[in-house]
Amino acid sequence: MTAPKITVYMPSHNYGRYLSEAIESVLKQTMQDWELLLINDNSSDNTQEIMQYYANHPKIKIFQTPGIGLPSVCNFALKHAQGEYIIRLDADDIFEENILLVLSHYLDIHPEVALVFPDYYLFDENGEIYAHEQRKKIYTANHLVDIPPHGACTMVRSEAIQNVNGYREDLGMQDGFDLWTKISTSYKCANINLPLFYYRRHGNNLTTNVKRIFNARQQIKKDSALEKLKQLKPVIAVIPIREHYDFRHNLWQEEINGKSLLTRDIEVCLGSSHIDYVVVTSDTTAPLYTLEEFDDPRLKFIHREHASTLRTASIVPTLERIAKEFDPMLNGLTILRYIQSPFVSSNTLEEAICHLAYSDADSACGVQVIESTLFKRSQYGLIPLNEKKEFYSDFDIIYKDSRTCLATKNSNLIKGTLTGPSIAYFEVSTAECFFMSSERDLKIANMLEEKSYDNVN
């Protein structure tokens, strides 16, 4: 029997409600040279019953796995796949009838491309379409390819996946970022600006476990950035503080739960093994008493002039002077920290460092997505900047600086720029984005810390 051109595999864990519609969307494909692997990963609903309806179809194979989780299911599918190309369809999503034809044809005529993905429609649990999401063309309209495509409905050459050793199973979560990282660094990828599948948003999505996905992505970036980080040394964390011009004099001395803001920040910076130097820079020598509490040779103090602490003064000359002292060749990077955001973790600092290395941008900034509508004034009144639209692309999303940390290549500083022209970004949790700019904020920070302490104990 001739091997099929395409392997479609469909994992299901308690998605029996949507399963039949997903399977039917494969059967309706205009391109018919495929096999379909149905994989029931220890479901307790009617998943197995639905799958059995299709047991006699000559192109369908049914498997059961003992609750091994999505990454392991993906590797299970790879072992049983016979197709030259492989694509996953989640059991709650739906193929557009031409997806296999269009994506396989693209790979056929572009042998240098290993992975191709389309745009898609968003629809709800009742089947109502409410948006069309587009990704700008990578390498041409979008030169920073640090955002992965959707984990499912991406077609890949089976040989390429095998060559990068399949999916990681040690992270317990898989949303396409792992595969994208490995494939995109070894092969050419592409995207097609046609919506070729329907992505269902509902409360039980495989991809709604935001915290687990976030942690998995952090680890993937750390691992993939290790070699690049060797070329970006040293890493200098800079904590700028000042005597005046904050809502309290010597704000760095203020305490949260019995620990000064400066002490907290030093501990966070020293908590990262990626950081080679932690430099406290101030217009007063009083912080030296705090530095003496630490026995770590990475911790340094640099005095700066009072004029450099003015609100209107740029931080770049100070950072340039520090970079030249600890990185004369300007091969490394600087990570800028502010004591006013007291809940930033060492992991977030490492996220900034690794994301900069991973993306090969000039800088990387922690951000938050702005969900509410923003307006600007026009001659006819207000017009929205980020209006909710049925058709939108990744370029339509508006972000704001989280004021948590920023990593920048030291070579930017000598040019007088903090960020350089290419700015990568990573999203930061709401808790870590808390920024103090008033007495009230300081009180709230203490309350949040006490609540966090009580929850732990």
Q: If 0-12 CB within 10 Å is exposed, 13-18 middle and 19+ buried, where does residue 390 land?
A: exposed
Look at residue 378 in the predicted model and tell me its pLDDT. 87
Look at residue 457 in the predicted model and tell me its pLDDT. 45
Look at residue 76 in the predicted model and tell me its pLDDT. 95
The C-alpha torsion from 276 through 281 and 284 to 286, rounded to 10°, is -30
Find, among 46, 93, 77, the residue nearest to 206 by Cα.
Answer: 93
- Lookup: tokens for 377: 């004034």
- Lookup: tokens for 393: 């692309």
Backbone φ and ψ of 273, nearest 5°: -75, -15
Q: What is the 3-state secondary structure (H, E, C) of the chain?
A: CCCCCEEEEEEECCCHHHHHHHHHHHHCCCCCCEEEEEEEECCCCCHHHHHHCCCCCCCEEEEEECCCCHHHHHHHHHHHCCCCEEEECCCCCEECCCHHHHHHHHHHHCCCEEEEEEEEEEEECCCCEEEEEECCCECCCECCCCCCCCCCCCEEEHHHHHHCCCCCCCCCCCCCHHHHHHHHCCCEEEEEEEEEEEEEECCCCCCCCHHHHHHHHHHHHHHHHHHHHHCCCCEEEEEECCCCCCCCCCHHHCEECCEEHHHHHHHHHHCCCCCCEEEEEECCCCCHHHHCCCCCCCEEEEECCHHHHCCCCCCHHHHHHHHHHHCCCCCCEEEEECCCCCCCCHHHHHHHHHHHHHHCCCEEEEEEECCCCCEEEECCEEEECCCCCCEEEHHHCCEEEEEEEEEEEHHHHCCCCCCCCCEEEEECCCCCCCCCCCHHHHHHHHHHHHHHHHHHC
| Distance separating alpha carbons of residues 386 and 371, to the nearest angstrom | 9
Q: Which residues contact 312 (CB under 8 A, 6 or more apart)?
A: none
Look at residue 135 in the predicted model and tell me its pLDDT. 86
The residue assigned the tokens 């709230």 is 444
Look at residue 392 in the predicted model and tell me its pLDDT. 62
Find, among 190, 199, 200, 195, the residue nearest to 119 by Cα.
Answer: 195
Look at residue 91 in the predicted model and tell me its pLDDT. 93
| Distance separating alpha carbons of residues 414 and 417, to the nearest angstrom | 8
CB 202 within 8 A of CB 149: no
List the domains of the chain with CATH numbers. Answer: 6-208 (3.90.550.10), 227-456 (3.90.550.10)
Is residue 381 left, alpha or beta, with left meaning phi > 0 and alpha meaning psi from -120 to 50? left
Look at residue 244 in the predicted model and tell me its pLDDT. 95
The residue assigned the tokens 């179809």 is 57
| Distance separating alpha carbons of residues 445 and 339, to the nearest angstrom | 12
Look at residue 209 in the predicted model and tell me its pLDDT. 60
pLDDT tens digits, residue range 67-83?
A: 998 889 999 999 999 99
Look at residue 1 in the predicted model and tell me its pLDDT. 65
- Lookup: tokens for 456: 């732990």
Q: Which residues contact 381 (CB under 8 A, 6 or more apart)?
A: none
| Distance separating alpha carbons of residues 26 and 56, to the nearest angstrom | 15
Query: Averaged in consecutive runs of 10 residues, what is the pLDDT profile of the chain (457 residues)?
Result: 92 93 97 96 95 96 93 93 96 96 98 96 85 85 75 93 90 74 90 94 60 72 80 96 96 95 97 96 96 97 96 96 97 96 94 90 92 87 79 77 94 96 90 94 92 56
User: Does the predicted TM-score (pTM) go above 0.85?
Assistant: no
